[in-house]
């Protein structure tokens, strides 16, 4: 054939407009290079792997509405006869792989299954030869009819249909599994295409709503792919706008870049309407990049009368040569008439498309293989053949990670870091229960609007601010302040047989009991907070270790067992807390006498100093501003000036042998305070609070840590073994049930495995040709 330059509206070289009658079918092109044939064969083999589900492979899809002349066109291209009896319209894709060969004509029929009998993907396509090769064209029609029945009855062995003649019963109306015809011979074109079921116009035209939707979905699955060349057949005997295949094509190829239009049945155009179809051939209407063609095929009656394909091609040539308006078309449009020109164009388009796509296909294939392998690697391990050992291993790994969490990890979101704020709140709450003794009479405080309780500096240095500085203006609403006269009054009421100036220890015990009884609530709150925080961390750990195992049953069982065990440990912690608090409530006791005496001295000095500051402000201010060790002041003659004030007093005391007296000790020289007994009681109680408070804020967190936090890690593994029963008499059965993989995960794994099979099979085909 002669190759022409591309037309202005075509990006692919056009093929000969020579319409002489060729030998045989007249569709072979010996000038096609061997490399093109190899590429076409390669794409055919790639289709055999089923990889077209994952990779966009070049392909020609023949579509059209029912009775659009698709079957006649395919017969003309392939040189074989398709089934024409009632009820044998195309109900599954039929792939035709044509290749020119010097060997005698031959046709093999294969069945390609990409889904099982339930419509589920098989992963690797299953190809099955359907009968022996056919060497007589007259035997093809019956073989195709039987092959379609085998496809439409997926639950039965295909070989049954090679002999059976029951044509009426089918299990499905349409199928995505397809028939593959591989035809070779000296007068066969190098071409490959797939014939799709005809689109059903409406229910009244022989279909039901389900079949209409299924056929449209099947056709869409092919033509929606960017590398699919759409061969659109339009019957001239029907109004153009009423043909659904045209509208579906416009949806997926709106610019007409990969659609080739074929007008069929031009001899059935109503008289006088012929001119209305010529704008399509001239590409003036519904413009397509690869143009519209027009062909005339023999009718069913012609074929029954024994018209050969050679005679059919001659009649087609006569029709377009002698019948107006086709015969009057400009020579530049004559190349769009006749089947031979169409087939040559299809061969050129398909081979060029394959040549352009193969490098991209290789890249896409490798990328998809890598992505699929990564997806498989990211899935949890599949169920083990040793479910008991698998569960035991999971439990040990979980306990190991749990112990690390309980021991502490150096991350900001660790368990111990999450607990610490609650422990600090507990410490502050306990410290805030300290009795707020005021070394002043209540009436005196009420008369001074500027009165504020002072906070001991030594407490600030040890514990930070206590928050006890409460303005006097709010004194009426504050019940925590304890004034010195109230303390003395309680002491007087408690006296029994004591001598004057002596008071029973029960006074101190009463004050101590008032704050120790407040410690139970914050201690239990801390336990609950730690329990809740611990549960959150362990829940996350359980999910991490067990969520992907089985169908979630193991995670659920472990969660329940761990929660039960944690509740037991929390109860033990609460019982220990209650016991520790009860020890404090029972009565004051400490062997830390030095610590207690030191604090009593500090508080007694603090309380007395505060009273002296108000009762003897001059002395208090002098003591406060006095700076010991200053150099003596000299007069104008360089002689020492006699000391005055505090310095003078200290100097005099030193002169009588009391040189160790400090400025702060001067207050002891003042007359006895009538509140000295109350001051001693206040100092006793406040000093003991410091001893007990620091003991409690250590012991309660320690108890929670021992019984609950660390306690969860002790004996949990045996508890899980007992609760799960994996080592019991039914351990194997239980482990198998727990180890079942979830259907969604199993389905995802199977889908990825099937995809990898297809992709690797396609990759091997590419490697065989050295791409």
pLDDT given for residue 667 in this prediction: 65
Q: What is the pLDDT of residue 421?
A: 94
What pLDDT shows up at residue 416? 93
| CA end-to-end span of the chain | 30
What's residue 668's pLDDT?
A: 66
CATH topology match: 34-368 vs 401-616+672-736: no
Q: Enumerate residues 6+ apart whose C-beta is below 8 A from 217.
A: none
> What gap in Å lies between CA 441 and CA 770, rounded to an integer?
105
Note the pLDDT of residue 465. 56
The winner for highest mean pLDDT among 16-30, 147-161, 691-705 is: 691-705
SS3 assignment, position 121: strand
Decide: helix, strand or coil at residue 24. coil
- Quick one: which of 254, 258, 255 has its CA closest to 230? 258
Neighbours of 461 (CB within 10 A): 8
Q: What is the mean pLDDT of residues 228-249?
A: 86
Question: Which tens digits make up the pLDDT trace of 122-147?
Answer: 666 678 889 999 998 888 888 998 89
The reported pLDDT for the residue numbered 19 is 37
Digit-coded pLDDT (tens) for 156-170: 888 888 877 766 678
Statement: residue 478 has pLDDT above 50: no
Give the residue, 551 or 674, on which the prediction is more confident.
Answer: 674
H/E stretch holding 418: helix 415-431
Instruction: Select from 306, 368, 441 the least CA-distant residue to 57.
Output: 368
E strand spans, 65-102: 94-100
Q: What is the DSSP letter of 709?
A: I
> What pLDDT, in 10s, does the model give residues 322-336?
999 999 999 899 999
Convert the pLDDT of each residue in 629-688 to its tens digit: 666 667 677 777 677 777 777 777 777 777 677 776 776 666 777 888 999 999 999 999
Q: Please state the domain extents for the chain.
A: 34-368, 401-616+672-736, 621-627+642-669
Residue 699: pLDDT band with limits 50, 70, 90: very high
Q: With beta carbons less than 8 A apart as the criterion, state whether 282 and 311 touch.
A: no
Q: What DSSP string describes 614-648?
A: HH-HHHHHHHHH--TTPPPPB-TTS-BPPP-HHHH
Mean pLDDT value of segment 271-296: 90
Is the pLDDT confidence value at 615 over 80? no
pLDDT for res 33: 54
401-616+672-736 architecture in CATH? Up-down Bundle (1.20)
Say which DSSP state 275 is in: G
pLDDT at residue 470, rounded to an integer? 38
Per-residue pLDDT tens digits for 575-596: 999 999 999 999 899 999 999 9
Report the predicted TM-score, pTM, of the whole model to 2 decimal places: 0.55
CATH 3.30.200.20, domain 34-368, yes or no: no
pLDDT value for 563: 95
Q: How much of the chain, in percent, has pLDDT values that exceed 70?
A: 85
Considering only CA atoms, which of 231, 300, 241, 239 is closest in space to residue 269?
Answer: 239
Q: How confident is the model at residue 1 (pLDDT cuts 50, 70, 90)?
A: very low
Ranges of beta strands (E only) in 236-386 are 259-264, 292-294
Output the CA–CA distances (angstroms, integers) from residue 237 to 64, 232, 292, 658, in the order listed.
14, 15, 16, 135
Within 10 angstroms of residue 539's Cβ, the number of other Cβ atoms is 14
Distance of CA 506 to the CA centre of its chain: 67
């Amino acid at each position: 054939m002669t190759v022409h330059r591309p037309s202005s509206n075509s990006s692919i070289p056009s093929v000969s407009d020579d319409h002489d009658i060729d030998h045989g079918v007249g569709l072979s092109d010996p000038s096609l290079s061997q490399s093109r044939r190899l590429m076409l064969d390669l794409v055919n083999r790639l289709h055999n792997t089923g990889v077209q589900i994952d990779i966009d492979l070049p392909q020609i899809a023949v579509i059209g509405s029912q009775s659009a002349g698709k079957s006649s066109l395919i017969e003309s291209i392939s040189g074989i006869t398709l089934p024409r009896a009632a009820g044998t319209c195309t109900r599954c894709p039929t792939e035709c792989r044509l290749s020119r060969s010097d060997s005698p004509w031959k046709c093999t029929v294969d069945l390609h299954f990409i889904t099982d009998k339930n419509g589920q993907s098989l992963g690797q396509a299953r190809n099955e030869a359907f009968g022996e090769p056919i060497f007589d064209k007259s035997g093809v029609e019956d073989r195709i009819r039987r092959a379609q029945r085998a496809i439409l009855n997926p639950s039965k062995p295909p070989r049954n249909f090679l002999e059976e003649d029951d044509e009426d019963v089918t299990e499905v109306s349409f199928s995505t599994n397809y028939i593959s015809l591989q035809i070779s011979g000296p007068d066969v074109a190098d071409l490959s295409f797939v014939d799709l079921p005809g689109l059903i116009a409406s229910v009244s035209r022989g279909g039901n709503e389900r079949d209409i939707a299924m056929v449209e979905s099947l056709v869409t699955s092919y033509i929606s792919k960017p590398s699919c060349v759409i061969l659109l057949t339009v019957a001239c005997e029907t109004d153009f706008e009423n043909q659904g295949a045209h509208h579906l094509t416009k949806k997926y190829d709106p610019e007409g870049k990969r659609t080739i239009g074929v007008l069929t049945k031009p001899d059935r155009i109503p008289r006088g309407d012929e001119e209305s179809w010529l704008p399509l051939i001239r590409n003036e209407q519904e413009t397509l990049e690869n143009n519209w063609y027009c062909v005339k095929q023999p009718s069913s009656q012609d074929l029954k009368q024994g018209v050969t394909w050679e005679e059919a091609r001659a009649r087609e040539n006569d029709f377009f040569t002698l019948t107006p308006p086709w015969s009057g078309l400009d020579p530049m449009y004559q190349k769009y008439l006749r089947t031979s020109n169409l087939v040559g164009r299809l061969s050129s388009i398909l081979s060029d498309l394959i040549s352009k796509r193969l490098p991209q296909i290789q890249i896409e294939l490798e990328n998809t293989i890598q992505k699929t392998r990564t997806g498989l690697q990211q899935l949890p391990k599949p169920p083990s053949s040793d479910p008991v050992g698998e569960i035991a291993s999971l439990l040990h790994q979980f306990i190991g990670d749990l112990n690390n969490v309980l021991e502490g990890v150096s991350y900001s979101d660790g368990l111990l870091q999450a607990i610490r704020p609650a422990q600090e709140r507990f410490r502050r709450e306990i410290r805030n229960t300290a009795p707020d003794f005021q070394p002043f009479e209540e009436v005196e405080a009420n008369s001074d609007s500027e009165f504020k309780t002072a906070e001991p500096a030594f407490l600030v240095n040890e514990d930070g601010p206590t928050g006890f500085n409460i303005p006097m203006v709010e004194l009426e609403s504050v019940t925590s302040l304890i004034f010195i006269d109230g303390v003395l009054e309680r002491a007087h009421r408690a006296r029994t047989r004591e001598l004057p100036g002596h008071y029973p220890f029960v006074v101190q015990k009463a004050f101590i009991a008032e704050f120790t009884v407040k410690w139970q609530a914050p201690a239990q709150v801390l336990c609950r907070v730690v329990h809740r925080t611990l549960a959150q961390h362990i829940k996350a750990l359980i999910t991490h270790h067990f969520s992907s195992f089985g169908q979630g049953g193991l995670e659920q069982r472990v969660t329940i067992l761990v929660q039960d065990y944690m509740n037991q440990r929390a109860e033990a912690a609460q019982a220990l807390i209650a016991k520790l608090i009860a020890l404090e409530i029972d009565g004051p006791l400490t062997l830390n006498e030095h610590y207690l005496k030191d604090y009593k001295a500090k508080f007694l000095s603090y309380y007395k100093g505060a009273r002296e500051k108000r009762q003897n402000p001059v002395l208090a201010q002098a003591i406060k501003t006095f700076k010991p060790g200053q150099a003596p002041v000299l007069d104008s003659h360089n002689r020492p000036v006699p000391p005055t004030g505090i310095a003078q007093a200290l100097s005099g005391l030193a002169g009588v042998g009391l040189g160790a007296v400090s400025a702060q000790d001067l207050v002891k020289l003042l007359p006895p305070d009538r509140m000295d007994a109350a001051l001693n009681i206040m100092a006793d109680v406040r000093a003991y609070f410091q001893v007990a408070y620091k003991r409690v804020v250590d012991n309660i967190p320690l108890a929670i840590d021992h019984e609950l936090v660390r306690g969860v890690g002790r004996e949990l593994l045996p508890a899980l073994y007992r609760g799960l029963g994996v080592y019991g008499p039914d351990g194997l059965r239980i482990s198998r049930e727990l180890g079942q993989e979830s259907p969604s995960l199993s389905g995802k794994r199977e889908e990825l495995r099937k995809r990898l099979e297809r992709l690797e099979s396609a990759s091997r085909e590419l490697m065989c040709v050295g791409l």
